[in-house]
Chain A
Amino acid sequence: MKPAGFAYHDPQTVAEAVALLGRLENARLLAGGQSLMPMLAMRVAFPDHLIDLNRVEGLDGITVEQGVLRIGAMTRQRSIERSAAIREACPLMTEALTHVGHLQTRNRGTIGGSLCHLDPSAELVTVAAALDATIEVAGPEGQRDVAIADFPLGFMTPALAPEEMVVAIRIPLWPREHGYSFMEFARRHGDYAIVSAAALLVLDSAGRIARASVTLGGVGAAPLRVTTAETALVGEAPTPALFRAAAACCEGIEAMEDPQAPAWYRQRLAAVLTRRALERAWARATGEAA
Chain B
Amino acid sequence: MSETRRITLIVNGEHREAETPVRQHLADFLRGTLGLTGTHVGCEHGVCGACTVLVDGHAVRACLMLAVQAAGHEVTTVEGLSLADGTLHPLQQAFCDHHGLQCGFCTPGMLTTLVEFLAEHPAPSEEEVRLAISGNICRCTGYDSIVAAALAAARALRGDAA
A and B touch in the complex (CB under 8 A): yes
Per-residue A-contact encoding for B94-128, CB less than 8 Å = 1, 0 else:
00000000000000000001001100000000000
Contact A8 B46, beta carbon cutoff 8 Å: no
Please give the distance in Å from A38's CB to the nearest CB on chain B: 4
Q: Main SS of the interface on chain B? A: mixed
A52 CB within 8 Å of chain B: yes
A1 CB within 8 Å of chain B: yes
Supposing A102-B134, A108-B65, A188-B134 touch, asked if A7 and B46 sit within 8 A by C-beta, the answer is no
Report chain B residues within 8 Å CB of A5.
1-3, 23
Per-residue A-contact encoding for B1-39, CB less than 8 Å = 1, 0 else:
111010000000000000000110100100000000000
Contact B23 A6, beta carbon cutoff 8 Å: yes
CA distance A33 to B61 in the complex (A): 10
From A7, A42, A52, A102, give the contact of B45 (CB < 8 A).
Answer: A42
Supposing A7-B3, A8-B22, A108-B65 touch, asked if A1 and B135 sit within 8 A by C-beta, the answer is no
Contact A2 B64, beta carbon cutoff 8 Å: no
Report chain A residues within 8 Å CB of B63.
37, 41
Within 8 A of B (CB), among A95-116: 101-105, 107-108
B74 CB within 8 Å of chain A: no
Report chain A residues within 8 Å CB of B44.
1-2, 38, 41
B68 CB within 8 Å of chain A: yes
Closest to B2 in A: A5
Q: What 9 additional pairs, Cβ within 8 angstroms, besides A2-B28, A5-B2, A103-B59?
A: A1-B44, A7-B3, A8-B68, A37-B64, A41-B45, A54-B69, A104-B59, A107-B55, A190-B135
**11 A-B interface contacts by CB (under 8 A):** A5-B23, A6-B22, A30-B66, A33-B69, A38-B44, A41-B44, A102-B135, A107-B59, A107-B60, A108-B64, A108-B65
